[in-house]
């Protein structure tokens, strides 16, 4: 990964996120009669004054990792007209909330863009459980238990996400003849189909369950999986008598039920069935599971239309926010280890953005950079609303205290608290940055995620 790509993409992505955040503060402050003295991209010292508009200086600053909308008297005792401190509680609160809210809206747009640009949809093959009488499926001789694999060389896939409509059957020419490949009783069966249009009707005339949605992407050395011949890209069908499905019977649960005893594992490998007898470990080495494998859900690139993409953007944004808000509970309850919830600093974030930008360049797919930018925008909104001094949430906390007390805290004292908080946050940032450099940071395998 090029250092230049990392630096340029980091500055651009962070610049857009911060610009939108500060723009929210600027707009609402101006509407509330608060004077915004300077709108700056990057942190001082100033290197370029772009222009002055409506009393606000717009500038470019030397340190490119952030930005600011400096309001009159924001951190001092200035109570003169037009200052932040002189504004009403509602004006101050709405101005503070506007920045994080803009990041939430941006996250929705970016998540939506990732759904429109082509995203890895969770998919599976349908296994027939019942066939409707006098239906195209019955005419073709489909039977309960059949697993539909391919129509010619095109995979016959269904979505495993009940909230979205995507990744149905891939049809190139509705009037062309095709051959349906399916698995029946462990054997590959070919069924001649007069037209591809019949293929699209099959799901409407059968009941089915999604199977073959668990793919092996990594195997630990000397693990039970490696010793018994499981290989990367195998797709798991069953463990013992349990058919595996991410949303139904996940692999880890089925494996846990067979610790210390030999169990047959049935896999689909390059279109052929393989059954291996494996004994899951009751006490695996740290960082490895009972079988010693790493898995992911099977995916297929799909797109959604504009309105559905935006709705999925709303859903994804608030799902992410809900997940972040659950982190303290997950940590205290032991469901999540501190190592898995470690904070990311500028170096780690730069590496992740650079990796996403490189993946977008290599694959021609915008999904990596849109999706990561959406996550970072939502994270920026949440972080700024934390009730810590110097952050928007810390200032909101002072307004809440003021409301409960019925009188204002001395602005000088509040400003001092925010200044101390800012210095502590800078110290925390330095510490996190050092940790990022020591540990090598976080990386995302976008190619594997995209199935490339």
Does 203 have pLDDT greater than 80? Answer: no
The backbone torsions φ and ψ at residue 47, rounded to the nearest 5 degrees and listed phi first, read -115, -15
pLDDT at 188: 86
Residue 234 counted as domain residue: yes
Does 153 have pLDDT greater than 80? Answer: no
Residue 66 counted as domain residue: yes
The mean pLDDT value for 148-172 works out to 70
Does 297 have pLDDT greater than 90? Answer: no
Q: For the chain, how many structural domains are there in total? A: 3
Domain range spanning residue 354?
Answer: 3-117+347-420+438-450
Does 335 have pLDDT greater than 50? Answer: yes
Do 145 and 244 belong together in one domain?
no
Do 25 and 110 belong together in one domain?
yes
Identify the CATH number of the domain in which residue 193 sits: 2.30.42
pLDDT at 449: 74
Look up residue 300 and give its two tokens. Answer: 């297929």
The mean pLDDT value for 330-357 works out to 73
Identify the CATH number of the domain in which residue 262 sits: 2.30.42.10
Do 84 and 166 belong together in one domain?
no
SS3 423: helix
For residue 448, how many C-alpha atoms fall within 13 Å in the half-sphere facing its CB? 13
> Between these two residues, 312 and 413, which has the higher pLDDT value?
312
Do 442 and 351 belong together in one domain?
yes
Do 112 and 21 belong together in one domain?
yes
Residue 433 counted as domain residue: no
Tell me what percent of the residues of the chain surpass a pLDDT of 90. Answer: 33
**Long-range Cβ pairs for the range 136-142 (8 Å, 24+):** 136/198, 136/201, 136/202, 136/205, 137/202, 137/205, 137/206, 138/205, 140/180, 140/191, 140/193, 140/198, 140/202, 141/191, 142/182, 142/191, 142/202, 142/206
Dihedral angle over CA of 260, 283, 439, 17, nearest 10 = 60
pLDDT in tens, 162-191: 655 554 555 666 678 888 888 998 888 888
Do 38 and 92 belong together in one domain?
yes
Look at residues 209, 235, 268 and tell me which one is the last residue of a structural domain. Answer: 209
Do 58 and 161 belong together in one domain?
no
Give the integer Cα–Cα distance in Å for 281 and 279: 6
Mean pLDDT of the chain: 85
pLDDT at 167: 46
pLDDT in tens, 78-110: 788 888 888 899 999 999 999 999 999 999 999
For residue 414, how many C-alpha atoms fall within 13 Å in the half-sphere facing its CB? 22
Do 97 and 134 belong together in one domain?
no
Do 252 and 202 belong together in one domain?
no
DSSP symbol at 84: T
What number of H helices and E strands is found in the chain? 12, 16
Does 410 have pLDDT greater than 60? Answer: yes
Do 142 and 70 belong together in one domain?
no
> Between these two residues, 347 and 441, which has the higher pLDDT value?
347
The backbone torsions φ and ψ at residue 148, rounded to the nearest 5 degrees and listed phi first, read -80, 120
State which H helix or E strand residue 209 sits in.
strand 206-211
pLDDT in tens, 110-121: 999 999 988 888
Does 66 have pLDDT greater than 60? Answer: yes
Cβ 45 vs Cβ 64: under 8 Å: no
Residue 310 counted as domain residue: no
pLDDT at 420: 82
pLDDT at 164: 57
Residue 335 counted as domain residue: no
Do 67 and 150 belong together in one domain?
no
Look at residues 209, 226, 241 and tell me which one is the last residue of a structural domain. Answer: 209
Burial of 313 (0-12, 13-18, 19+ CB in 10 A): buried
Do 364 and 403 belong together in one domain?
yes
Closest to 375 measured CA to CA, from 13, 8, 4, 2: 13
The backbone torsions φ and ψ at residue 447, rounded to the nearest 5 degrees and listed phi first, read -65, -45
The mean pLDDT value for 263-287 works out to 89
The backbone torsions φ and ψ at residue 439, rounded to the nearest 5 degrees and listed phi first, read -90, -15
Residue 142 counted as domain residue: yes
SS3 414: helix
The backbone torsions φ and ψ at residue 221, rounded to the nearest 5 degrees and listed phi first, read -60, 140
Banded pLDDT at 1 (limits 50, 70, 90)? low
Look at residues 244, 268, 284 and tell me which one is the last residue of a structural domain. Answer: 284
The backbone torsions φ and ψ at residue 69, rounded to the nearest 5 degrees and listed phi first, read -120, 95
Cβ 35 vs Cβ 82: under 8 Å: yes
Dihedral angle over CA of 376, 363, 214, 311, nearest 10 = 50
Closest to 166 measured CA to CA, from 381, 373, 20, 311: 311
Residue 298 counted as domain residue: no
Residue 323 counted as domain residue: no
């Amino acid at each position: 990964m090029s250092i230049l790509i990392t630096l340029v993409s980091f500055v651009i992505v962070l610049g857009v996120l911060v610009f939108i955040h500060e723009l929210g503060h600027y707009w609402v402050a101006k509407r509330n009669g608060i004077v915004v003295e300077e709108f700056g991209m990057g942190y001082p010292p100033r290197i370029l004054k772009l222009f002055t508009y409506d009393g606000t200086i717009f500038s470019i600053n030397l340190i490119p990792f952030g930005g600011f909308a400096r309001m009159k008297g924001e951190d001092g005792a200035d109570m003169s007209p037009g200052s932040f401190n002189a504004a009403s509680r509602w004006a101050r609160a709405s101005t503070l909330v506007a920045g994080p809210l803009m990041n939430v809206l941006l996250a929705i747009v970016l998540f939506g863009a990732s759904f429109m640009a082509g995203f890895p949809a969770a998919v599976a093959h349908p296994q027939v459980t019942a066939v409707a009488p006098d239906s195209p499926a019955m005419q073709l001789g489909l039977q309960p238990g059949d697993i539909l694999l391919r129509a010619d060389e095109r995979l016959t896939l269904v979505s495993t996400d009940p909230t979205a409509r995507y990744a149905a059957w891939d049809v190139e020419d509705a009037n062309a003849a095709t051959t349906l490949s399916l698995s029946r009783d462990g054997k590959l069966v070919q069924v001649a189909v007069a037209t591809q249009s019949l293929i699209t009707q099959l799901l409407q005339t059968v009941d089915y369950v999604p199977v073959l949605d668990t793919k092996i992407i990594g195997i630990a050395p000397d693990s039970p999986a490696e010793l018994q011949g499981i290989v990367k890209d195998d797709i798991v069908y069953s463990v013992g008598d349990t058919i595996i499905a991410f949303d139904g019977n996940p692999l880890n649960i089925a494996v846990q039920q067979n610790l210390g005893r030999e169990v047959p594992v049935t896999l689909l490998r390059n279109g052929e069935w393989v059954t291996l007898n494996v004994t899951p470990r009751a006490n695996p080495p740290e960082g490895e599971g009972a079988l010693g494998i790493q898995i992911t859900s099977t995916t297929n690139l799909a797109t959604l239309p504009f309105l559905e993409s935006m709705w999925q953007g709303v859903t994804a944004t608030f799902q992410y926010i809900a997940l972040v808000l659950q982190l303290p509970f997950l940590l205290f309850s032991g469901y999540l280890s501190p190592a898995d919830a470690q904070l990311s600093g500028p170096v780690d974030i730069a590496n992740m953005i650079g990796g996403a930008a490189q993946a977008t360049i290599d694959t021609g797919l915008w999904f990596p950079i849109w999706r990561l930018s959406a996550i970072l925008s939502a994270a920026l909104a949440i972080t700024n609303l934390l009730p810590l001094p110097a952050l928007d949430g810390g200032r909101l906390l002072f307004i809440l205290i003021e409301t409960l007390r019925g009188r204002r805290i001395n602005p000088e004292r509040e400003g001092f608290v925010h200044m101390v908080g800012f210095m502590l946050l800078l110290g925390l940032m330095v510490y996190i940055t050092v940790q990022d450099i020591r540990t090598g940071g976080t990386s995302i395998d976008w190619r594997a995620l995209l199935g490339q």
